[in-house]
Amino acid sequence: MGMAGPFGPAFFIPVTHPFLYRRAASLDDATHALAEPGTLPLGGGTDLLVTIAEEIARPDVVVDLRSIPNGDAIVELEDGRVRIGATARISGIAQNGLIRDRYSALAQACDVVASPALRHMGTIGGNLCQRPRCWYFRQGIPCLKNGGGDCPAVLGENQYLAIVDGGPCFVVHPSDPAVALTALDADVEIASANGVRSVPIGEFYTLPRDRLDQETILASGEVVSAVVLPSESAGGVQRYRKVMQREAWDFALVSVAGCKRPDGEVRIVCGGVAPRPWRVNSSVEEDVSSGGLDDETISTLVDRALLDVEPLSKNAYKVDLTAAMLRRVIAELA
């Protein structure tokens, strides 16, 4: 919906559901406010306000985390790990010298998120916790996530949905940074009124077969306070490759993050193919780590990586796309 302003058309999101807005004075203040039922955290608001307008989210109160002092800091810890505060902007992470030097896969992933304006508004905490983009879910159609009895995409428009780990719902995970962070073995720091805990990002996301109402393990009242990158993942060879339908400012049809650490360990993770960042079989990663691979061996490794994929009626093209991208990234790592 839009209206004419002095500088041309101005667009706004028609939010019909009323809610209170408050700015957090500190992380402690935020977690205590979030302990109240009906309260949600706000980062850049680029997804939350849309989900409120779409009536997918109906908070009574939103707590703005951006006012937390130093909540966006990117710092090296004494033990060499790097901590990125949850309200760090996607564009700030992409441009940060420490991240570009040591964790370039993350910088590359942040560089290709959405548009410059969305990268400037969006925070890493909000990006990791954004809701999936399945058309049926977002339109309020009674799919499994909206309280319906089945997934209309199975017999309907499933061209952008999952080819692996789906069922009974086939959403794909939308975040580019999450895919790179999984390949970098990052930890997610989670805060609540009860204190702070930390989980490997590989355990942060849930699958639809385990729960349908949300995509992360966050309990009510918990927020992401930071992501922490291990020193072992710094440097080496790092790649983030993404294919989009429109070639710009769009979610990944398929993406691949590949990292070969200085100690030789390899991590390969795909985006756009599963309800969470999808790490390939560790035996494939080990064989890539041994290096010296010719084209034929790489093709065999890619076939092994994709053994479990099961495309839906309209997304078999994603299998070929993923294979092509894996071939390219594995060759670059090898």
Ligand X SMILES: Cc1cc2nc3c(=O)[nH]c(=O)nc-3n(C[C@H](O)[C@H](O)[C@H](O)COP(=O)(O)OP(=O)(O)OC[C@H]3O[C@@H](n4cnc5c(N)ncnc54)[C@H](O)[C@@H]3O)c2cc1C
Nearest by Cα to 318 from 277, 259, 275, 271 = 271
Closest to ligand X by CB, 122 or 275:
122
Q: Please, are residues 75 and 227 in contact by the beta-carbon 8 Å criterion?
A: no
Shortest Cβ 198–ligand X spacing (Å): 14
Q: Assign 323 to helix, strand or coil.
A: helix
Residue with tokens 């035996």: 283
- Binding region for ligand X (CB under 6 A) out of 94-102, 126-134, 136-144, 258-266: 126-134
Residue with tokens 């702070």: 196
Q: How far apart are CA 119 and CA 114, in angstroms?
A: 7
Three-point CA angle 171, 175, 176, nearest 5° = 125
Size of residue set near ligand X by CB under 6 A: 30
Shortest Cβ 120–ligand X spacing (Å): 10
The mark string for 3-42 relative to ligand X (x by CB under 6 A, - otherwise) is -------------------------------------xxx
> Which residue in the set 121, 141, 316, 324 belongs to the binding site for ligand X (CB under 6 A)?
121
Closest to ligand X by CB, 44 or 92:
44
Q: How many CB atoms lie within 10 A of CB 306?
A: 20
Q: Closest residue (Cβ) to ligand X?
A: 126
The answer to whether residue 113 forms part of the interface with ligand X (CB under 6 A) is yes
Torsion of CA 94, 90, 271, 291, to 10 degrees: 20
The answer to whether residue 223 forms part of the interface with ligand X (CB under 6 A) is yes
- Residues 183 to 202 in contact with ligand X, rule: CB under 6 A: none
Structure tokens at 181: 């962070």
Closest to ligand X by CB, 38 or 291:
38
> Which residue in the set 27, 47, 166, 272 belongs to the binding site for ligand X (CB under 6 A)?
47
Shortest Cβ 40–ligand X spacing (Å): 4
The answer to whether residue 122 forms part of the interface with ligand X (CB under 6 A) is yes
- Binding region for ligand X (CB under 6 A) out of 9-17, 98-106, 116-124, 233-241: 116-124
- Binding region for ligand X (CB under 6 A) out of 97-105, 118-126, 207-215, 310-318: 118-126
Q: Which amino acid, 106?
A: L
The answer to whether residue 86 forms part of the interface with ligand X (CB under 6 A) is yes
Closest to ligand X by CB, 108 or 288:
108
The answer to whether residue 315 forms part of the interface with ligand X (CB under 6 A) is no
Q: Is 202 exposed, middle or buried (0-12, 13-18, 19+ CB in 10 A)?
A: middle
Backbone region of residue 8 per phi and psi (left: phi > 0; alpha: psi in -120 to 50; beta: other values): left
Instruction: Using only the alpha carbons of the chain, give its radius of gyration.
Output: 20
> Which residue in the set 31, 33, 39, 46 belongs to the binding site for ligand X (CB under 6 A)?
46
Shortest Cβ 31–ligand X spacing (Å): 10
- The H-or-E segment that residue 5 falls in is strand 2-5
- Residues 52 to 71 in contact with ligand X, rule: CB under 6 A: 65
- DSSP state, residue 123: B
Shortest Cβ 330–ligand X spacing (Å): 23
> Which residue in the set 108, 130, 192, 315 belongs to the binding site for ligand X (CB under 6 A)?
130
Phi (first) and psi of residue 36, to 5 degrees: -75, 130
CB contact set of 53 (below 8 Å; sequence gap of 6+) = 13, 14, 15, 16
Q: How far apart are CA 107 and CA 325, in angstroms?
A: 19
In the complex, the residues that contact ligand X under the rule CB under 6 A are 40-48, 65, 86, 90, 113-114, 118, 121-123, 125-127, 129-130, 174-176, 223-224, 250-251
